[in-house]
């Protein structure tokens, strides 16, 4: 029968906090969508969900591997974060190679006049009729922060799922399901594209935060109530 004790509440809190980290993390990732794929906007040239799936699954693989050798939460969170950061950085780096050597455009952001990190002037390099191209330094940095938050969040969802079900496959599927819900909600909030923390749209994050909080609580209740039954 259903068991509900202090440990269950801790698991629930971990799932909710993980969900919120994923939700906020999406706001940091420079998602460009289809315009970026045509080098007409700044960011990675694909949608939020694809990016979330990519970095989330890599993070999941890394933290699942760590979880097979230890039950300590800290190395699991760290390996999830590093896995997803490596994936995101590799994507942005190869994306930049393509923008630079194949498309032949300079990296520039149209949302700020000066890159907040390098201080380089941006407007002269933005081609007319576009809203920036490539992934400039500030986007690269903010993308890495986003992947860090997403990776920690994903690992924080995976950990309690696996502790409850003792079934890595089931826990992974649950994590992917919860991860997708919390990556779609913020991507609607930012209307599909964002450049990172310097983008004016970033200020809208509290809306997605509130929505993810409620959705995360509902999903966490479902997840912690699923108990392994005998014979599974």
Neighbours of 79 (CB within 10 A): 21
| 90 binds another protein per the rule CB under 8 A | no
Q: Tokens in use for 105?
A: 């455009």
CB of 124 to another protein, least distance (A): 29
| 141 binds another protein per the rule CB under 8 A | no
Nearer to another protein, 115 or 146 (CB): 146
Nearer to another protein, 159 or 179 (CB): 179
CB of 145 to another protein, least distance (A): 21
Binding segment for another protein (CB under 8 A), chosen from 90-98, 111-119, 129-137, 223-231, is 223-231
| 219 binds another protein per the rule CB under 8 A | yes
Nearer to another protein, 140 or 174 (CB): 174
**Among positions 43, 47, 95, 134, the unique one binding another protein when judged by CB under 8 A:** 47
Nearer to another protein, 116 or 192 (CB): 192
**Among positions 33, 104, 121, 153, the unique one binding another protein when judged by CB under 8 A:** 33
**Among positions 49, 65, 127, 163, the unique one binding another protein when judged by CB under 8 A:** 49
Residue 55 gets the label, from left (phi > 0), alpha (psi -120 to 50) or beta, of alpha
Nearer to another protein, 84 or 189 (CB): 189
CB of 1 to another protein, least distance (A): 6
Q: Tokens in use for 118?
A: 């390098």
Site for another protein in 170-199 (CB under 8 A): 170, 173-174, 176-181, 184-185, 187-193
Nearer to another protein, 31 or 81 (CB): 31
Cα dihedral 190, 191, 196, 199 in deg (nearest 10): -90
* Alpha-carbon distance values, 149 to 24, 124, 146, 231 (Å): 8, 33, 5, 37
Nearer to another protein, 108 or 178 (CB): 178
Which residues here bind another protein, judged by CB under 8 A?
1-2, 33, 47-50, 53, 167, 169-170, 173-174, 176-181, 184-185, 187-193, 207-208, 210-211, 214-215, 218-219, 222-223, 225-227, 229-232
């Amino acid at each position: 029968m259903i068991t509900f004790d202090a440990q269950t509440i801790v698991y629930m809190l971990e799932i909710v906090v993980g969900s919120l980290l994923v939700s906020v993390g999406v706001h940091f990732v420079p998602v460009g969508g289809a315009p970026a794929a045509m080098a007409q906007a700044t960011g990675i040239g694909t949608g939020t969900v694809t990016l979330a799936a990519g970095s989330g699954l890599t993070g999941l693989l890394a933290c699942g591997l760590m979880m097979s050798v230890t039950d300590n939460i800290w190395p699991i969170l760290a390996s999830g974060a590093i896995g997803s950061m490596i994936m995101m950085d590799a994507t942005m780096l190869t994306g930049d190679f393509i923008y630079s050597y194949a498309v032949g455009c300079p990296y520039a952001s149209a949302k700020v006049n000066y890159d907040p990190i390098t201080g380089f002037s941006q407007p002269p390099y933005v081609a007319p009729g576009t809203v920036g191209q490539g992934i400039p330094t500030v986007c690269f940095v903010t993308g890495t922060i986003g992947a860090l938050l997403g990776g920690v969040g994903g690992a924080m969802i995976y950990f309690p799922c696996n502790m409850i079900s003792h079934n890595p496959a089931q826990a992974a599927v649950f994590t992917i399901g919860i991860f997708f819900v919390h990556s779609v909600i913020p991507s609607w909030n930012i209307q599909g594209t964002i450049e990172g923390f310097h983008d004016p749209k970033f200020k809208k994050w509290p809306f997605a935060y509130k929505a993810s909080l409620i959705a995360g609580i509902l999903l966490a209740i479902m997840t912690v109530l699923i108990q392994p039954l005998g014979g599974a």
